[in-house]
Amino acid sequence: MKQSKLLIQTLRETPRDADVVSQQLMMRAGMIQKVAAGIYSYLPLAFRSIRKFEEIVREELAKDGCQELLMPAVLPAELWQESGRWKFYGDELLRFCDRKAKAEVAERRKRGETPDERDFYNFCLGPTHEEAVTDIVRKNVRSYKQLPMNLFQVQTKFRDERRPRFGLMRGREFTMKDGYSFHVDDACADRGYWAMFNAYNRIFSRLGVKFRPVEADSGAIGGSFTHEFHVLAGSGEDAILSCDACEYTSNMEKTEAPQLPAGPCGDRIDLKKDHFCTPGVLGQVEQAAGMKDAEHDGMPITQTSKFYLMQAEFQGSPEASKSNPADAGQDKVLLLGVVLRGDHELNPVKVKNLLGATGLELMEIVEAEAFTGAKSGFMGPVPAEGTRFSELRSQVRMLVDRSLEGAVNLTCGANRTDYHHFGLDPKRDLPGCTFADLRMAAEEDLCTRCGKGRYQAFRGIEVGQVFKLGTKYSKSMSCTFLDELGKEHPMVMGCYGIGITRTVAAAVEQNYDADGIIWPWPISPYQVHVVCLDPGSAEVAGVANQVEKDLEDAGFEVLHDDREGLSPGAKFKDADLLGFPLRLTVGAKGLKEGMVELRDRRTKAVVKLRPEAAVAEVSVARDRIMQELETAGGR
RNA sequence: CGGGGCGUGGCGCAGCCUGGUAGCGCAUCUGCUUUGGGAGCAGAGGGUCGGAGGUUCGAAUCCUCUCGCCCCGACCA
């Protein structure tokens, strides 16, 4: 391919609204262009990378007998109503109505009514396709003999993100491989799950990036399990903790936190109210230092506690509504108090999962101050007399991190501004409280799985997820099969996603330097960049063309920079920016000695060679680069 | 959705406060000279200053509204 004919416009300056490296470099390299917030065109170079990654995905899935199909991007509301997600999926689901529904709205307006058009939305752009695929399978699969079955598609998805950002990594429109499996029972679904888990490991290994499969939070769907696949990159949105001794790797949202004892507290004492006068306190550290009395000149932070007032929201029939059946089905709010050791951080996901809540929010600070009667910094789990907290104490569900189970003599906010209690014994002083793992695990915490290693922290970009769905959709949508006895059962399902465009961006996010992108060989738009420095010279151009042809004949993908009138520096800068793994420079200077130069983009190492040796040398370089990828991939 | 910022040729920006014929760099086109890490000179094309309304003799500039985009936060199978 001649670069002079390629649709590409490199930019010397970074577009102002590009906020992450991958977006900056891909925009500067003329690979992507923004069309609207979170919506991009993939220009020819980027599209080549995307298609290459898709092919890797297809090849690996084919090995597991997965079948590719394509479902519509536009889906009818009825399907989503059937699963119940039409109501539960938020505004990320882009909904709209077709001409029929619009005509209906117009008709009603004519009749003097004032219909809300939103009530007439009857289609959406699919952000995921559980309903659509379940509909297909229930219509076409009846017998256990047809199972298991694994169907997937590579498709443009749309999620109307509140705040699209990070270029291709959190866009609204993106390409995703979404796969769904159907099984006769749990054991079969588990086998399907692990088959996909292994396939994903193969896929990301072939991609040539550093990645980790991590245990993730499976959200509100109980009993299911899930792994996310993360490309490791400093700019990643997710925090990952990985044990340095065993295989345990998990999203920090989920990582089990070891139970750490509170500080050496001595013999149990009574709760001494308003014991410490601690005015003008800022954080926990200052607070601990400021706790002084006759015996203490400050407290160890491990003996302090912190307290959060929260509101948990439930949809449908949560535990909170069980006592009052009249409330079942109604959205419900539960008041929550959470107690942690002073130096620990709250993990809201754990709290949510513990309660089965659909939402969790910190109480507004003003509201909390009115509720407890104390300023921020002095609130605690033991209510002060005469406050609303005191009145409603029995309705506040009290949760205590398990590190404080058995702890005594803790300090806590006194619910009186500028004062702290001393001598808190959660078990004694917080009747009805529940002990559980509620805190965020941290780097260097002892691994809960092997008890030997310590957690190491990484940043990751989530590019894939395997998820055991269970029967959520098959039950709500009656996707059933008949077993050997002719008995009907709902199919057990799994779903498996890979963000194609996000993965390509993540690969860039992990592989670049000050000069530009460094593409991993398997998804580089082209493999070899032949840079002709003197296209005006018939001799030099002739050699460059010959080298291009030789390499292409040998099966390499070549972009030939034959552009005239550019200085060598400009061409080199462009080549570095585009970042193909190998650059082959053909110039008058080198040809005087009969030589061209092969340069490795990543190492910048240069070898001189005769033009006739190009194919051989490029092959050697390719083998070396692929070798390096294999050792770099995975752990 | 809350807080903040920005909308001026394809890209990056100045001009706005203090109203008076829209500018710079990059890119593009032409010519000449250059050619191993973003060349030089000369010339050329390209902008309803996000949109609407208002104030004014006159608005990129002042006022009001609106749309879009970006950042921080919240949210995220």
Write the pLDDT tens digit of every residue in A180-218.
999 999 999 999 999 999 999 999 999 999 999 998 876
| Helix or strand (DSSP H, E) at A165 | none
Alpha-carbon gap, residue A175 to A152, rounded angstroms: 13
Question: Counting every residue, how long is chain A?
Answer: 635
The pLDDT of residue A348 is 87
Helix intervals (H) in A115-249: 130-140, 186-207
Alpha-carbon gap, residue A149 to A492, rounded angstroms: 11
Provide the CA A364 to C1' B26 distance, Å, integer.
Answer: 50
Single pTM value for the model:
0.90
Nucleotide nearest to A564 (CA to C1'): B35
Token pair 């002892």 in the structure block, residue:
A446
A524 vs A294 pLDDT, higher one: A524
Nucleotide nearest to A467 (CA to C1'): B77
Mean of per-residue pLDDT scores for chain A: 90
User: What average pLDDT does this structure show over A257-286?
Assistant: 79
The pLDDT of residue A299 is 85
A555 vs A323 pLDDT, higher one: A555
The pLDDT of residue A116 is 83
**Is pLDDT at A318 greater than 50 in this prediction?**
no
Provide the CA A235 to C1' B36 distance, Å, integer.
Answer: 35
**Is pLDDT at A317 greater than 80 in this prediction?**
no
Contact, A411 CB vs strand B, < 7 Å: no
pLDDT band at A224, cuts 50/70/90? low
**Is pLDDT at A623 greater than 80 in this prediction?**
yes
Residue type at A407 in one-letter notation: A
Spatial contact of A420 and A276, defined as CB atoms under 8 Å apart = yes
Contact, A118 CB vs strand B, < 7 Å: no
Spatial contact of A581 and A524, defined as CB atoms under 8 Å apart = yes
What's the token pair of residue A545? 């063309």
The pLDDT of residue A593 is 95
Task: State whether residue A45 is helix, strand or coil.
Answer: helix
Nucleotides of B under 7 A from a protein CB: 1, 10-13, 25-27, 33-39, 68-77
The pLDDT of residue A368 is 84
Task: State whether residue A18 is helix, strand or coil.
Answer: coil
**pLDDT (tens digit per residue) in A456-510:** 999 999 999 999 999 999 999 999 999 999 999 999 999 999 999 999 999 999 9
Contact, A337 CB vs strand B, < 7 Å: no
Alpha-carbon gap, residue A506 to A26, rounded angstroms: 12
pLDDT band at A89, cuts 50/70/90? confident
Contact, A534 CB vs strand B, < 7 Å: yes
**Is pLDDT at A223 greater than 50 in this prediction?**
no
Provide the CA A187 to C1' B72 distance, Å, integer.
Answer: 47
Alpha-carbon gap, residue A91 to A384, rounded angstroms: 41
Mark A328-347 as b/e (b = at least 16 C-beta within 10 Å): eeeebebbbbbbbbbbbebb
Q: How many CA atoms lie within 13 A of A531 on its CB side?
A: 24
Alpha-carbon gap, residue A617 to A611, rounded angstroms: 10
Contact, A143 CB vs strand B, < 7 Å: no
Contact, A148 CB vs strand B, < 7 Å: no
pLDDT band at A293, cuts 50/70/90? confident
Contact, A10 CB vs strand B, < 7 Å: yes
Residues linked to residue A314 through DSSP beta bridges, in sequence order: A332
* CA distance to A65, A130, A473, A492, per residue, from A181 (Å): 11, 10, 12, 8
- How many angstroms from the chain centroid is the CA of residue A568? 41
User: What average pLDDT does this structure show over A428-437?
Assistant: 92
A263 vs A31 pLDDT, higher one: A31
DSSP 8-state assignment for residue A446: B
The pLDDT of residue A126 is 94
Contact, A467 CB vs strand B, < 7 Å: yes
* Sign of the CA dihedral running A224, A229, A232, A234: negative
* CA distance to A533, A537, A539, A596, per residue, from A589 (Å): 9, 12, 12, 9
Least trusted range by pLDDT, from A319-323, A332-336, A501-505: A319-323
The pLDDT of residue A326 is 45
Provide the CA A610 to C1' B77 distance, Å, integer.
Answer: 55
Closest CA to A428 of A465, A453, A398, A455: A398
User: What average pLDDT does this structure show over A419-445?
Assistant: 92
Alpha-carbon gap, residue A48 to A388, rounded angstroms: 63
* Sign of the CA dihedral running A617, A618, A622, A625: positive
Rank A7-21, A59-73, A297-311, A403-417 by mean pLDDT and report only the highest: A59-73
| Helix or strand (DSSP H, E) at A173 | strand A173-183
**Is pLDDT at A322 greater than 50 in this prediction?**
no
Question: What angle (nearest 5°) sits at the alpha carbon of residue A215, between those of residues A631 and A241?
Answer: 70
What's the token pair of residue A1? 């391919």
pLDDT band at A220, cuts 50/70/90? very low
**Is pLDDT at A323 greater than 80 in this prediction?**
no
Contact, A315 CB vs strand B, < 7 Å: no
**Is pLDDT at A320 greater than 70 in this prediction?**
no
Contact, A353 CB vs strand B, < 7 Å: no
**Is pLDDT at A523 greater than 90 in this prediction?**
yes
Provide the CA A29 to C1' B7 distance, Å, integer.
Answer: 24
Question: What angle (nearest 5°) sits at the alpha carbon of residue A92, between those of residues A86 and A95?
Answer: 55
pLDDT band at A436, cuts 50/70/90? very high
Spatial contact of A525 and A53, defined as CB atoms under 8 Å apart = no
**Is pLDDT at A342 greater than 80 in this prediction?**
yes
The pLDDT of residue A349 is 85
Nucleotide nearest to A130 (CA to C1'): B77
* CA distance to A78, A259, A583, per residue, from A247 (Å): 44, 20, 39
User: Which domains are assigned to chain A?
Assistant: 3-39+508-517 (no CATH), 47-72+127-256+455-504 (3.30.930.10), 272-432 (3.90.960.10), 526-632 (3.40.50.800)
Residue whose CA is minimally distant from B25 C1'? A13
**pLDDT (tens digit per residue) in A383-392:** 999 999 999 9
Contact, A37 CB vs strand B, < 7 Å: yes
Alpha-carbon gap, residue A477 to A475, rounded angstroms: 5
Nucleotide nearest to A92 (CA to C1'): B76
Q: How many CA atoms lie within 13 A of A447 on its CB side?
A: 19
Nucleotide nearest to A12 (CA to C1'): B26
Other beta carbons within 10 angstroms of residue A17's beta carbon come to 12
- Helices A614-632 and A538-553: crossing angle, nearest 10°? 50
The pLDDT of residue A633 is 57
